[in-house]
Every structure is written in C-alpha cells, then in structure tokens.
Chain A
Amino acid sequence: MVYTTMEGALFEPTLYIVKGMCILDNDGNRVLAKYYDKDVLPTPKEQKAFEKNLFNKTHRANSEIIILDGLTCVYKSNVDLFFYVMGSSHENELILQSVLNALYESVSILLRRNVEKRILMDSLDAVMLAFDEICDRGVILDSDPTSIVGRAALRTEDVPLGEQTVVQVLQSAKEQLKWSLLK
C-alpha cells in the first residue's frame, strides 16, 4: 500500500471503494464474507482474526460504525445476524453506509423480512448471488435492493423455475418489496 499522509488529502477518484463485506452470526462466526483488496486482509487467517475482533467490538454497542485496524466498518444487526461493510479509512462513510443498506435490504427482501440465521442458511445460494450483484471485486455494482433482488432471487417456492418468465420473477421481487415497505 502506498502511504501518503492522510492529513488534508482529497478522496481518491476511484471505483474501488468496498474493501470487504461480511455477515457474522451471533457468536461472531462467519456466515459469508468477501474481501476485495489483495492488500487488505489477504489471508483467511487474518480475515477471521479481524472478524473476531470486529465482532467483539460491535456486538454489544449498537452504534452503526467503527474504525478498526485502519478500516471504516459500517454495520447493522438483526436477531442473530450482523452485517458489515468495510472501506478504507479515507473514504466517504456515507457511500459505505449506502452499500450496507443495499446489502441488508436485499437480504431482508430475499428472506421475506425474516432476517435470521436459520432462514438465511436456507436461502444461502440467493444471498451469495446478492453479494455478487452488489459488489464486484470492490466496485459497487448496484445499490438498489429491488434490482439486486431481481437478479438474485431466481427461484420461488412453488412454481418451478422453468415455467416462470423473467418478467414474473421481477414482478414477484417488486411485490415483495412493496409488501415490505407497507409493513
């Protein structure tokens, strides 16, 4: 990492904004995690140590954001799941927050508002796809939960997928969102 003094520096005009995203359970174990910068936490060992540390510092204090190991981490929790988005300590915190919202909302829609570990594990494949649709190697790909879910929720319970059209899939995703907003 090239080091420049952080003092009075402008933000870097880059698309590579997200350093990592993860979901942890209420014991601090990893449910899903992705790290996007090969200079930031490159090995699984470092990542897990970081996650442990992150969890210990955040699971009791419900305060949205923390600066840890030179990373800005925004977070949000529900029942037994903790959602985190990590970025450089020299990055617009509100952009990271918007990515976290996208992640949380998408998962929430996917799980029909039952954001808890057991239900998430049942739809793990869709959540993996949502991860993939939100961020591609550190670049924010999409932050609109409706369109993310439209491209990640490809299976509905009853109708076999082969008999659904794309329009139907999108329609059902939209309905889910409406339902969630009305709630």
Chain B
Amino acid sequence: MNCEVCQLKELDADYFEVREVLRCILHTIFFHRALGLVRPKDIDLELFEITYVQCGDAKLEKKVDEKIDQFIDRVEKHPNKKKQICVSFFEVKNKQATWFTHKVEHLYWEQWYINLNVAQHPKPHSGKSHHSKLVVDPGESASGRRATLESSLHEVLFQIIKFVNEKKDHIPPIPNMEGVSFPYEITISSSSDSAFGMDMFKRMLQTGHPTMLS
C-alpha cells in the first residue's frame, strides 16, 4: 500500500488567524477520514465567511485543539519561520521485531502537510495582495490580506476535496467504529528543524514500497 501525500497550498496567516485556519483545515481532513457513523457539525468561522464541517467527535476536537496550542507555542518560540503540521494516517501492524524495526509498526498510508507562514504582526503588504493603492489607513490592507487568506483557505479546502475524491484506493478497510476510523498522528515541524527532514526520512522508511516490508 502506497502512502499518498498531499502537500496543501502554503498559507500566510497572522498570529490571531492561525487557530481558525488550522481548525478549519484539520477538521475538514478528519471529516473525510472519519468514515464511521458521524453526525456532522457545521462550524462558521468568525474571521472568514467559511463554514467547515466537524465530524462531531469530542476526542478529536480536543486533540486538534491541543495540537493547535502546541503549534502556536512553537510559533511564539520560533517566529518568522515556516511551520508545518503533518497529519498522518497509519495502520498498526505487528511485525516481528528485527534489529531495526519495532514490534509495532505504523504503516502510513496517507499524509497531509499543512504549510503555514505565521506573521507576528500585521504586515502592510503581502505578496499575494492585489488590493488597490488607495489605501488610506492600515485597516484597508488588513482587509485585503484577510480576503486573500480567505480565498487561499477556500482553495486549500477544495484541494482537500479533490484529493479525497481522486485518491480512494489506498484507504484501508473501514473498521466498524464511530468517529475517526483510522489511527492518526499530528506532528508539528518547522523548516529549520533538523528533525524535519529526519521525520520525512523515517516515514519514507516505514512507508516504503510494500515489497520492502516483509
């Protein structure tokens, strides 16, 4: 089973927008992977005119909020660095212990990479802003950046929808459970982390060609 990787479009968000943006993206991903019985919950974003859907799993909500808090702490400690959140779905397989593998193996079959550039303070101009030059006060540029971010967030959500629609064959059988059907993990990394690439390498080893895992 191959690991399908989806690199989502990079977003430029302000510090106070990070929480909403991440909630929207993460819950949209999990809603598509919560293939057990769900009661969808519509959530309206406060900063954007977007309604996203949660699967209604309280545990998942708590886990997502915790990870977002960790992400924000990471942003505060390492500002002005590209940050990435990785959502990985895996299967747990018990393997015979060998000299380089553990007994319990995580077989990643899907990974989502959410790329964020977090600004500590509002920037006067963002590279993606197409706002006119009739800006009189900073409020005008902030609304332009907000609109740009909203549009980008829209694109990211449709990117998720398209990926989910196009890639269906790699999904393992649905276990008979409510909420999120598959085990998952959420990791945070930044571009400067030395472990950033190592994480990727580890996953590549673990989710390599099926013939390697024998």
Do A and B pair up? The answer is: no
